[in-house]
Chain A
Amino acid sequence: MRRLILIAVPYAWLVALFLVPFAIVFKIALSDPALAIPPYTPTLDLAAGWAGVRDFFTGLDFENFTFLTTDDLYWKAYLSSLQIALISTVLALAVGYPIAYAMARAPDHWRPTLLMLVILPFWTSFLIRVYSWMGILSTEGYLNQLLLGMGVISEPLTILNTNTAVYIGIVYTYLPFMILPIYSALERMDDSLLEAAEDLGCSRFTAFWLVTIPLSKNGIIAGCFLVFIPALGEFVIPSLLGGSDTLMIGKILWEEFFNNRDWPVASAVAVILLLILIIPIVLFQRNEQKQREMDG
């Protein structure tokens, strides 16, 4: 009896506030837009009983989904989201790996402090961390002032409101997600393997390439997914740092919903974003599973 309550309470909560809402999104993605409140005509009328369900299936159309294919905007937004997420992930790996590597090589008594310094930004507001870049990157911002003052450039650079600013924002805010898994893979590494490689005639660089990188492979994969997956649906970074030509699907969904008030299309956009995300999420979980089996 007690066990039943223990299972039922969180279960019911998640069904009611996680599963049912998704069913509603799917349902509305299949409804017709209308100028009303709520601004759509439901095509599934449960109150009419079986007749309503039958009407729903006979009248079923994917109008909102075909609408997404007729307008360039949407597929361009999906592609550009994928591109931005991919480039940012590669950049985050390039920036994060040396940091994780240096942390793992640091003297033992430094490591708890270094680890805390990487985790601390997680506890700081995401919004504020993105906002802090607006003052740095704007035309009259601190970066331009510095570069002009040093004489490196003669004209201020336009960085804010471009995709470059979005890359910087994503790398900056998600960098700890990249550093932590790589650090934990490198930290467990047995140094005698490196010594063996060098004894056998490897240069330090080849030893790094042939021993260290493969041993940190799982950390690299986990870090890349942890940056790529949230970057794909990102909304805050493109709206604060990106320009009007920065197309990201999270931003499109938001505008479709709040500005155009086209709920069925917003729902259809959400459904397709979810379908795209299933692939990296499944791959990520498989990688985690494999690693757990290896550890256990």
Chain B
Amino acid sequence: MRRFSWFNATSLTLGFAFLYLPMVILIIYSFNESKLVTVWGGFSTKWYGELLGNEAFLDAAWVTIQVAVVSSTIATVLGTMAAYVLVRGGRFLGRTLFSGMIYAPLVMPEVITGLSLLLLFIGIGLDRGIVTIILAHTTFSMCFVSVVVSSRLISFDRSLEEAALDLGCSPFSAFRLVTLPIIAPAVISGWLLAFTLSLDDLVIASFTAGPSATTLPIKIFSAVRLGVSPEINALSTLMIAVVTIGVISASLISKRQLMRQQADEREAERA
């Protein structure tokens, strides 16, 4: 019998208040009429209007989305390959180095990753811009993808693949027809993770972005360094709204899939 005391109820209430109150306050004050951020001057959506008229923010947002889509897609392909190699690849020369390189970027401070990539790009004479940000983001997010995908690969029954091979599949079509559909949820969540990591990254992008391409976090950072601004409150609210809708709909979809799967299994048992 689990006990749920007043103590537990209090810690949950206080804990979630701590986690969510700062963001709730930010959202409320994004509808503040007053230019003074901390003084409530009545309800208004004028900062959203100002934001949508701000070309610099819109350009940066477009660069950010392009970088995130391209880098997370390449990262998903590379990360899935890396996960497959780590789980199924057996022994090969430099395996320890390879797995070290997969896990190291996860714990590496961003300032070091950013600095080292910038020095590389300068060393090979690659002009900083959207391409260098994409290369940098692909590198760190492929490691996150491969961790997510490999945990799924470890837990699934290898004999399914062997059966496909016995039945005459080539290794590639066995992967495409058997393995890939089974690990698909992990691949998709890996892509989503890579996508949000890329959208969110400030430090590595600051090192690898040039004057020709700036991302939204860089713009936000240089704006808020000087203090709180109502326009940034409006921008933050929009970003929080997009993420919340995305996460909730993704979880609803996966819940429905799970229910359908369970229904199928019950059907199969009955038959």
Enumerate chain A interface residues (CB-CB to B < 8 A): 2-3, 6-7, 9-11, 13-15, 17-22, 24-25, 28, 38, 95, 98-99, 101-103, 105-107, 114, 116-118, 120-121, 123-129, 131-136, 138, 140-142, 145, 172, 175, 191, 229-230, 232-236, 239-240, 250, 253-254, 257, 263, 266-267, 270, 273-274, 277, 281, 284-285
**Chain A residues whose C-beta falls within 8 Å of the C-beta of B15 in the assembled complex:** 95, 98-99, 102
Q: Is the CB of B23 within 8 A of A124?
A: yes
Q: Is the CB of A21 within 8 A of B116?
A: yes
B5 to A, closest residue via Cβ: A105
Q: Does residue B165 face the partner (Cβ distance < 8 Å to A)?
A: no
8 closest A-B pairs by beta carbon, nearest first, are A233-B109, A21-B116, A99-B15, A98-B11, A102-B8, A132-B22, A10-B82, A21-B120
**Pairs across A and B, CB under 8 Å, 13 listed:** A3-B89, A6-B89, A17-B139, A19-B101, A99-B11, A125-B217, A125-B240, A127-B202, A131-B232, A132-B236, A191-B1, A254-B203, A277-B109
Do A13 and B26 form a contact, CB below 8 Å, given A3-B89, A135-B228, A240-B225? no
Distance (whole angstroms) from the CB of B209 to the closest CB of chain A:
12
Distance (whole angstroms) from the CB of A266 to the closest CB of chain B:
6
**Distance in angstroms between the alpha carbons of A138 and B107 in the assembled complex:** 32
Q: Is the CB of B221 within 8 A of A236?
A: yes
Q: Is the CB of B98 within 8 A of A14?
A: yes
Which of A21, A138, A141, A191 has its CB near the most chain B CB atoms (within 10 A)?
A: A21
**Chain A residues whose C-beta falls within 8 Å of the C-beta of B29 in the assembled complex:** 135
Q: Is the CB of B26 within 8 A of A9?
A: no
**Distance in angstroms between the alpha carbons of A19 and B113 in the assembled complex:** 10
Partner among B16, B115, B135, B207 whose Cβ is within 8 Å of the Cβ of A17: B135
A4 to B, closest residue via Cβ: B92
Q: Is the CB of A11 within 8 A of B26?
A: no
Partner among A133, A233, A274 whose Cβ is within 8 Å of the Cβ of B22: A133
Q: Is the CB of A129 within 8 A of B23?
A: yes
Partner among B82, B84, B196 whose Cβ is within 8 Å of the Cβ of A123: B196
Number of chain B residues whose Cβ lies closer than 8 Å to a Cβ of chain A: 80
Q: Is the CB of A136 within 8 A of B112?
A: no
Q: Is the CB of A121 within 8 A of B115?
A: no
Q: Is the CB of A136 within 8 A of B22?
A: yes
Q: Is the CB of A172 within 8 A of B22?
A: yes
- Chain B residues 67-81 with CB under 8 Å of chain A are 78-79, 81
Q: Is the CB of B78 within 8 A of A138?
A: no
**Chain A residues whose C-beta falls within 8 Å of the C-beta of B167 in the assembled complex:** none
A122 to B, closest residue via Cβ: B196
**Chain B residues whose C-beta falls within 8 Å of the C-beta of A17 in the assembled complex:** 117, 120, 135-136, 138-139
Distance (whole angstroms) from the CB of A283 to the closest CB of chain B:
12
Which of B47-55, B243-251, B261-269 lies at the interface?
B243-251
CB-defined interface of B105-123 with A at 8 Å, one 1/0 digit per residue?
1010111100111011011
**Distance in angstroms between the alpha carbons of A131 and B110 in the assembled complex:** 19
**Distance in angstroms between the alpha carbons of A232 and B3 in the assembled complex:** 38
Distance (whole angstroms) from the CB of A178 to the closest CB of chain B:
11
**Chain B residues whose C-beta falls within 8 Å of the C-beta of A277 in the assembled complex:** 107, 109
Distance (whole angstroms) from the CB of B212 to the closest CB of chain A:
17
B1 to A, closest residue via Cβ: A191
B217 to A, closest residue via Cβ: A127
Q: A107-B4, A131-B228, A235-B203 are in contact. List 19 more A-B contacts (CB 8 A).
A: A6-B84, A10-B79, A11-B85, A18-B139, A21-B117, A24-B120, A98-B8, A102-B7, A106-B8, A124-B244, A127-B221, A134-B224, A134-B228, A135-B228, A138-B38, A138-B227, A175-B19, A234-B109, A285-B103
Q: Is the CB of A135 within 8 A of B117?
A: no
Partner among B37, B109, B171 whose Cβ is within 8 Å of the Cβ of A250: B109
- Chain B residues 1-51 with CB under 8 Å of chain A are 1-5, 7-9, 11-12, 15-16, 18-20, 22-23, 25-26, 29, 37-38
Which of A98, A102, A121 has its CB near the most chain B CB atoms (within 10 A)?
A: A102
Do A6 and B81 form a contact, CB below 8 Å, given A132-B23, A135-B26? yes
A263 to B, closest residue via Cβ: B119
Which of A141, A172, A253, A270 has its CB near the most chain B CB atoms (within 10 A)?
A: A270
Do A103 and B12 form a contact, CB below 8 Å, given A135-B26, A135-B37? yes
Q: Is the CB of A145 within 8 A of B38?
A: yes
**Chain B residues whose C-beta falls within 8 Å of the C-beta of A129 in the assembled complex:** 22-23
Partner among A105, A106, A134 whose Cβ is within 8 Å of the Cβ of B227: A134
Q: Does residue B102 face the partner (Cβ distance < 8 Å to A)?
A: yes
Distance (whole angstroms) from the CB of A88 to the closest CB of chain B:
14
**Distance in angstroms between the alpha carbons of A172 and B1 in the assembled complex:** 32
**Chain A residues whose C-beta falls within 8 Å of the C-beta of B23 in the assembled complex:** 124, 128-129, 132
**Chain A residues whose C-beta falls within 8 Å of the C-beta of B109 in the assembled complex:** 230, 232-234, 250, 273, 277
**Chain A residues whose C-beta falls within 8 Å of the C-beta of B103 in the assembled complex:** 285
**Distance in angstroms between the alpha carbons of A107 and B4 in the assembled complex:** 8
Q: Is the CB of A125 within 8 A of B239?
A: yes
